[in-house]
Amino acid sequence: GAVVSQHPSRVICKSGTSVKIECRSLDFQATTMFWYRQFPKQSLMLMATSNEGSKATYEQGVEKDKFLINHASLTLSTLTVASAHPEDSSFYICSARDFAGSNNYGYTFGSGTRLTVV
Amino acid sequence: AQSVSQHNHHVILSEAASLELGCNYSYGGTVNLFWYVQYPGQHLQLLLKYFSGDPLVKGIKGFEAEFIKSKFSFNLRKPSVQWSDTAEYFCAVIPEGDNYGQNFVFGPGTRLSVLP
């Protein structure tokens, strides 16, 4: 089945540095990928929709200058947390949809990235 | 906008106990419903889904869920849990016909701990 690889799984960084998270669709092409954020004991919240070859669409309240999304190819989307601060510490998950294979939406999720900013 | 609520943050059961996790959604139109499971350190996996037809849906690993339209509910059940079912469970909703996923809404999740 469709596989989405997300890297790194864990990252600890100093406040003020930038962190890049990669999301790859391994065996299918994903024109659209989604980035979610999960706070402790809260739901996954959609941050942005990443579209290959065009600008990402951000949800209300998500700072596009803080969370930079690049979807340069049909198999790779990256999320860069710019000048990270401790309040950016969270669990970030990407997902992609394999349009080709299914009539069940076919969403596949990455394994998530635990970001800790110290 | 639609929203999803899950009744419990954390459920603790002994092995062989029966499980029911509650999920309610709010949305005025037709929806498609999902339950996802996230085992410790792993990615979200689809347990089961409902699109139409029989409101009792069977999924993987012995899980099932029942869609009760009048109650806007989609509760997850398993007659006898195992220690390996320890995980976080997410209910999710998407309006029918949404092909791009922007409105894929998750519940807050329920952590299930099964004691051996």
Question: pLDDT digit string (tens) for B81-105?
Answer: 999 999 999 999 887 765 555 567 8
DSSP letters of chain B? Answer: --EEEES-SEEEEETT--EEE-EEEE-SS-EEEEEEEE-TTS-EEEEEEE-SS-SEEE-GGG-EEEEEGGGTEEEEEESS--GGG-EEEEEEEEETT--S-TT-EE---EEEEEE-
Q: Average pLDDT for residues A21-34, to the nearest whole number?
A: 89
Task: Give yes or no for a contact between B89 and B40, defined as CB atoms under 8 angstroms apart.
Answer: no
Query: Which one of B42, B49, B104 would you mutate to disrupt binding with A, by most A Cβ within 10 Å of its Cβ?
Result: B104
Predicted confidence band of residue B29 (pLDDT cuts 50, 70, 90)? confident
Task: Give the pLDDT confidence score for residue A103 in this predicted structure.
Answer: 45
Task: Give the pLDDT confidence score for residue A28 in this predicted structure.
Answer: 85
Question: Closest Cα of chain A to B37: distance in Å?
Answer: 11
Nearest Cα to Cα of residue A91 among B106, B28, B93: B106
Tokens 């690889």 correspond to A5
Contacts of A34 in chain B (CB under 8 A): 101, 104
**CA distance linking residue A83 with residue A63, whole number of Å:** 12
Question: Closest Cα of chain B to A111: distance in Å?
Answer: 4
Task: Give the pLDDT confidence score for residue B101 in this predicted structure.
Answer: 56
CB contact under 8 A, B104 and A93: no
Task: Give the pLDDT confidence score for residue A94 in this predicted structure.
Answer: 93
**CA distance linking residue A78 with residue A66, whole number of Å:** 13
Structure token pair of residue A104: 């069940």
Predicted confidence band of residue A99 (pLDDT cuts 50, 70, 90)? low
Q: Average pLDDT for residues A22-49, to the nearest whole number?
A: 86
Task: Give the pLDDT confidence score for residue B48 in this predicted structure.
Answer: 92
Q: What is the mean pLDDT of chain B?
A: 89
Question: What length is written for chain B?
Answer: 116
Contacts of A107 in chain B (CB under 8 A): 46, 101, 104
Contacts of B39 in chain A (CB under 8 A): none
- A101 vs A87: which has the higher pLDDT: A87
Question: Closest Cα of chain B to A17: distance in Å?
Answer: 25
Cis bond upstream, residue A8 (ω within 30): yes
B39: contact with A, CB 8 A cutoff = no
B60: contact with A, CB 8 A cutoff = no
CB contact under 8 A, A6 and B100: no
Predicted confidence band of residue B66 (pLDDT cuts 50, 70, 90)? very high
**Strand B31-38 versus strand B44-50 pairing type:** antiparallel
Nearest Cα to Cα of residue A112 among B90, B29, B25: B90
